[in-house]
Amino acid sequence: MAQIKLSNLKHSYYPNPQGPEDYALKEIDVTWRDGGAYALLGPSGCGKSTLLNIISGLLMPSEGRILFGDSDVTALPPDQRNIAQVFQFPVIYDTMSVRENLAFPLKNRGAAPDKIASRVQEIAEMLDVVEMLDTRAAGLSPDNKQKISMGRGLVRDDVNVVMFDEPLTVIDPHLKWKLRSKLKELHQRVQATMIYVTHDQTEALTFADEVVVMQEGEVVQIGTPVDLFERPQHTFVGHFIGSPGMNVLPCQATGDHAMFEGHEVALEGPVTGDGGTLTLGVRPEHVAIGESGVPAHVTKVSDVGRHFIVEAMVGQTPLKAVLDHGAPEQGSEVRLSFDAAKTRVYRDGWIATQERGA
Ligand SMILES: Nc1ncnc2c1ncn2[C@@H]1O[C@H](COP(=O)(O)OP(=O)(O)OP(=O)(O)O)[C@@H](O)[C@H]1O
């Protein structure tokens, strides 16, 4: 296993890129700790596959370096990078048994038969597939085939990194949550560096110790699931993570307060910088209904089981609140207050308030 460092990586699919818009990856600088569980999260087209292909060696970056520990692997082909990959669709040999499939990566590397037998048994136990070991892979369900594919990715204990590319795509929705938590458990037991690529926030937040959020070829935030929820560094993170996402509202700001639809709103701390377009960011969970605050007209109330989602208009601007109880009537006039410690201003999308005391 190894620490992975991506240093000043840039990639363009064009031979003569003219500007930032010609780059699939704009400038990536990240270090992944040895043994950590990471997710690369972002919408389709943000550059996740490009980055994965650069790490695995299928693609040579236009600029920058990839280091595994102290070795620069930028120029090495995939077979010399010592990586295990699990893809969207199962990669297994139908004619072999489950046992032979799991043993294959070890056998290929010339591991001793007793080591192969014990490691295959160990991985099969972790994945709950012991009873299938002597079944031919051809007869397995797609879910089980993908489980075996994962097992093949995890069976070697000498790889630099295990990379998962949207591995739950073929899994039945009702089994997804099971495998999501299984993968987390596997990481804790296997202790390998793992990178999990997905556009699904639940998968990323369940699996990873740290999530790398990407948008249009850029990393917009790297943080724990709590960091991403509690203090989004960019409105994209606020909106992409959470359900519903963060309210992003037009505003002006001075000192430590903002003006929103003609009402003063207290912020977490003083506004920094100047110029650009300002927006106010507050998560629906941090909007309350009470006696005082910004007047609003309730347009919709949805009971989603664990809480209510209240949609309201403040002047011309729609926003959402999440309430555990005490939901107002649709059509009623209410007052909304924002939790000041969780209310921030963003300048051109990037956070522009200082945390009090920071
Ligand atoms: N071979 C290619 N030639 C030219 N442009 C490409 C090529 N592959 C990807 N791109 C472009 O690079 C950008 C990033 O694509 P990439 O496939 O890395 O994103 P992604 O986040 O993995 O999306 P998805 O989840 O849909 O695969 C996109 O704008 C895409 O159109």
CATH number, domain with residue 257: 2.40.50.140
**pLDDT for the residue numbered 1:** 63
Q: What is the number of structural domains in the chain?
A: 2
Whether 215 and 98 map to the same domain: the answer is yes
Whether 167 and 305 map to the same domain: the answer is no
Whether 218 and 328 map to the same domain: the answer is no
Q: Is residue 97 part of a domain?
A: yes
pLDDT tens by residue, 262-305: 999 999 999 999 999 999 999 999 999 988 999 999 999 999 99
State which ligand 1 atom lies nearest to the alpha carbon of 166. Answer: 25
pLDDT tens by residue, 158-190: 899 999 999 998 888 888 888 888 888 888 888
Instruction: Ligand 1 pocket test: pick from 21, 23, 40, 48 the residue with the most ligand atoms within 8 Å of its Cβ.
Output: 48
Whether 35 and 160 map to the same domain: the answer is yes
Whether 251 and 145 map to the same domain: the answer is no
> Is this complex's ipTM strictly greater than 0.95?
yes
**pLDDT for the residue numbered 113:** 97
Where does a domain end: 168, 202, 230? Answer: 230
* N-to-C CA span, the chain: 36
Residue 42 CB less than 6 A away from ligand 1? yes
Q: Is residue 22 part of a domain?
A: yes
Whether 141 and 220 map to the same domain: the answer is yes
CATH number, domain with residue 125: 3.40.50.300
Q: Looking at residues 150-162, what average pLDDT do you find?
A: 92
DSSP 93-128: -TTSBHHHHHHHHHHHTT--HHHHHHHHHHHHHHTT
Name which of 46, 21, 30, 143 is nearest 90 in CA terms: 143
Whether 209 and 248 map to the same domain: the answer is no
Q: Looking at residues 110-125, what average pLDDT do you find?
A: 95
Where does a domain end: 202, 230, 258? Answer: 230
Instruction: Ligand 1 pocket test: pick from 40, 46, 166 the residue with the most ligand atoms within 8 Å of its Cβ.
Output: 46
**What pTM was computed for the model?**
0.92
Cβ(36)–Cβ(209) below 8 Å: yes
Whether residue 57 has pLDDT greater than 90 = yes
Residue 45 CB less than 6 A away from ligand 1? yes
Range of the domain at 322: 244-351
How far does the centroid of ligand 1 lie from the alpha carbon of residue 86, in Å? 19
Residue 53 CB less than 6 A away from ligand 1? no
Whether 91 and 218 map to the same domain: the answer is yes
